[in-house]
Structure 1
Amino acid sequence: MRLQRFKAFIFSLFLLCSLAATANEQILSNDRLKLFDLSSDQTKEDAAKLRKDWINPVNYKLSQTTDEKYNPLKSTVSISQPIFKSGGIFQAILYANALERYSNLDITIQKKAMIKDATELLFNIHKINYSIKKQELLIANANLDVLRKREQVLNGLSDASFLDNAILDANTKKNSYVELVYQKKELINNFNNLASSSYEKFELPHLELQENSNFIDKNLNIIQSKEDIATKDHYQFMTIAKYLPTVNFTYDYTKYHDKDNNPALEGNSVMGLNLTVPLDVRTLNDIQSKRIDYLKSKITLNTTVLEEENFYRTKLAKINMIKSKEEIAKEDFKLYTSLLDDITQAADAGLNAKADVETLANSKEIKSYDIKILELERQIELLDIYAKMEI
């Protein structure tokens, strides 16, 4: 049992290091990263402000009144500060902390989504490079087929309709090639919108499949849902405290600036405590509403866990499907290798045309590109899993 746990720990540690090193946030442009940094700073300031919301401001008032004899100018400093709010002060601080964690998780999710988008574009650019090379070979084979059909028609061995179909097939493959070239330019432009440099300067990451339990434990959406529960929990207690007794410290100081030698206009200060008990007919409705928000957040967590588990199962099924396609492509590659050896020997003996050798050689290389494309497709699916994890 200990050995299995140790192996699992080593595997997890290797995987985390691999993912952290390969899917670096530095793929994003400086402006994109700066926006996320500013959002984090703003969240920090908002949370600090929220932690201090229970502290009332000191009010300063400068006024002048008139009567029959005097026109005095006076300033007043007033303080009314709660020092006990039935637990509301403590809950307000906890609420601010929980809300800050929730907001930071939201920023992390947005950043990882953007890193994922940029990395996926990088994968797709390399994938389309292979597709373009593959299409070039398909065009080469189509041209060879046209030559072969043309020779058959000229020798009366085939109908002209077969040549026409071969020409149409070659043109279709050429049009597909033109579309692939355009799609590559489009992908590069989209990548440049996010990335800090051209795609040639980035190495493709190599991602491994995460275990389901690890995926759920480190899932950012689930972690954020848990923080949402904590936030709603503290807020409902803050709401309850709002309708409970509050003890306030009060202080008022008045100073007259223009006394006119009037002894009645001396400055004075008043200090004291008061107890406030709010009576509001909406109290129960407000408290119950916040209670419902809290219960809804707990149900949302259950729903989120279910959705993420099903997401993982769907991705796993697709990854296994791609692996099956890879195995088929590898078997085809072996078959073409064997056929190419046989056809090459036959061509050397004068039994087959050199065009047949070239066609099979191209087909073999096409299968090698199919394998590489499928490997990239599998990495893209793994990237979707990584983007949802706290790594």
Structure 2
Amino acid sequence: MKKKIFILFSFSLLYCDESILSSLKQKEFDIDYKKSEVESKKLRDSWINPINMSYIKTKNDQYGLNSETKSFKISIDQPIFKSGGIYFAIKYADANKEFSKLSIKEREKELIAKALDLLYKYYKTKLMIEKQKLLIENAKIDVLRKKEQYLSGFLDSSFLDQAILNKNQQELKLLELQDSLNEIYKNFKNISDKEPDNIKLPHFTIINKDEYLEKNIAIKKYKEDEKVKKYFKNMTIARYLPSFSLTASYNEIENKAALFMPSGKESYKEYGFKITMPLFDINSFRNIESTKLDFLKSKILKIDNKREELNRYEITLKKIKILDKKINLAKEDIKLYSSLLQDTKSRYEAGEKTIYDVDTLKNSLDNRKIDIKIYEIEKQENLLEIYKRVVNG
């Protein structure tokens, strides 16, 4: 059941992916995908040699003769067997194609995640501004209370000064938060055409560990890189083994006033085969050994990357559990503040408490409610680290 929920969820995210990036950013990625496709086709067919054409025209005035020769030739020299080299070249191209596509997808997901992260920060900062305004209200209430107590002779002026200083600090912090909100807005608009206030925040849910490892882009990339290194190693070995090629050509030659042969025109065909093999290359064993080492390294990197991704997944879960605990603590505080507020209102009506006490407790209650919203956004920010590393669907 969990898996079905995640798949449906992924499709909703796919819609978000396609809409959150600016049209120019999306066009860049579309071009990258198309170029990757073209480059992979070039690589896949690189073992097919071109058909060559040549035309030569020469004039010669040796011995006082004005001779002229024209020659036209179409030729091909096509290997059809390279001790497995052709097969490995095709497999190498296929693996390289997948690696390239995953690399582009990884960059695209990173940019989408950056936009979403800025979106979360934007909404979180707005909540922090709302919370800061409540703190300022409480600080103002504290100043009024301290002022009354000072004028009544119950407090020293230092307590009033401290309350005023705290109010000023809270107001300065509000200005800093508003400045941060403007900066976040600017950075978001650099990569998106959307207005952050008009976008509904996506809601991520955790997937299980096996799904995360199976859909992980980085792990898929390292698997394809291992294939790329493996096939390149085999291609390198094949370079130093026998190769069988078919050769063919069509020739036309036209002579005018030649010294040793009469003027005329002739055409003929040539076809055959050839077998080639390098007999000695001082770097052959070094080249092969180098590709073998690259292949071995790719296997180690694949295993090491899987370990890193597993650690990332487990750390994210721990962070989410801590945020859940913070949410539970905030809920307990809300219950306490609600009870105190109710009691304080009753005492205020009885003349035992002031309106300052009621307003202070109400602001503190609202503050803790905002804290829960902030913690929920922080949970989504952590889950975003999981989302951006997996392939949708």
SS in 1 for 2:203: coil
SS in 2 for 1:79: strand
Give the Cα–Cα distance (whole angstroms) in 2 for the partners of residues 200 and 161 of structure 1.
Answer: 44
User: Which residues of structure 1 form unaligned runs of 5+?
Assistant: 1-9
- Would you say 1:177 and 2:179 are equivalent positions? no
1:260 deviates by 5.6
TM-score, L = length of structure 2:
0.94
Q: Deviations over 1:42-61 (max 9, x none)?
A: 01000101111111112222
SS in 2 for 1:204: coil
User: How many residue pairs end up in the alignment?
Assistant: 382
Query: Over the residues paired in the alignment, what is the CA RMSD in angstroms?
Result: 1.4
- Would you say 1:60 and 2:57 are equivalent positions? no
1:358 deviates by 0.6
User: Which residues of structure 2 form unaligned runs of 5+?
Assistant: none
Aligned to 1:14: 5
Aligned to 1:48: 41
Give the Cα–Cα distance (whole angstroms) in 2 for the partners of residues 269 and 259 of structure 1.
Answer: 22
1:161 to 158, 161, 165: 158
SS in 2 for 1:71: strand
Contact 1:19 1:207 in 2 (8 A): no
- Mapping for residues 57-96 of structure 1, pairs under 5 Å: 57-67=50-60, 68=62, 69=65, 70-96=67-93
Aligned to 2:273: 273
Give the Cα–Cα distance (whole angstroms) in 2 for the partners of residues 51 and 209 of structure 1.
Answer: 39
Q: Deviations over 1:20-40 (max 9, x none)?
A: 304621111111111111001
Give the Cα–Cα distance (whole angstroms) in 2 for the partners of residues 191 and 19 of structure 1.
Answer: 23
- Would you say 1:218 and 2:215 are equivalent positions? yes
Aligned to 2:368: 367
- Would you say 1:319 and 2:310 are equivalent positions? no
Aligned to 2:102: 105
1:268 deviates by 2.1
1:257 deviates by 4.4
2:353 corresponds to which letter in structure 1?
N
When structure 1 is superposed on structure 2, of 137-146 and 277-286 the one drifting more is 277-286
1:352 corresponds to which letter in structure 2?
K
Give the Cα–Cα distance (whole angstroms) in 2 for the partners of residues 218 and 113 of structure 1.
Answer: 15
1:322 deviates by 1.1
1:270 corresponds to which letter in structure 2?
E
When structure 1 is superposed on structure 2, of 252-261 and 114-123 the one drifting more is 252-261
Contact 1:130 1:369 in 2 (8 A): yes
Q: Which runs of 4+ in 1 moved over 3 A?
A: 65-69, 257-265
1:258 deviates by 5.1
1:339 deviates by 0.4
Aligned to 2:344: 343
Give the Cα–Cα distance (whole angstroms) in 2 for the partners of residues 42 and 311 of structure 1.
Answer: 32
- Would you say 1:121 and 2:118 are equivalent positions? yes
2:278 corresponds to which letter in structure 1?
P
1:190 deviates by 0.7
1:215 deviates by 1.1
Give the Cα–Cα distance (whole angstroms) in 2 for the partners of residues 208 and 15 of structure 1.
Answer: 8
Give the Cα–Cα distance (whole angstroms) in 1 for the partners of residues 169 and 254 of structure 2.
Answer: 94
Contact 1:22 1:204 in 2 (8 A): no
Aligned to 1:355: 356
Give the Cα–Cα distance (whole angstroms) in 2 for the partners of residues 78 and 212 of structure 1.
Answer: 58
1:64 corresponds to which letter in structure 2?
K
Aligned to 1:204: 201
Give the Cα–Cα distance (whole angstroms) in 1 for the partners of residues 132 and 255 of structure 2.
Answer: 94
Aligned to 1:298: 299
Q: Percent of counterpart pairs with the same letter?
A: 38
SS in 1 for 2:295: helix
Q: Deviations over 1:94-125 (max 9, x none)?
A: 11011000000011111111111111111111
2:54 corresponds to which letter in structure 1?
K
- Would you say 1:130 and 2:120 are equivalent positions? no
Contact 2:68 2:257 in 1 (8 A): no
Q: Deviations over 1:65-101 (max 9, x none)?
A: 3443422121222211111111111111111011000
Contact 2:95 2:227 in 1 (8 A): yes
SS in 2 for 1:72: strand
1:328 deviates by 0.9
1:12 deviates by 1.2
C-alpha distance 93-148 of structure 1, shift in aligned 2 (>3 A): same
Aligned to 1:193: 190
1:247 deviates by 0.9
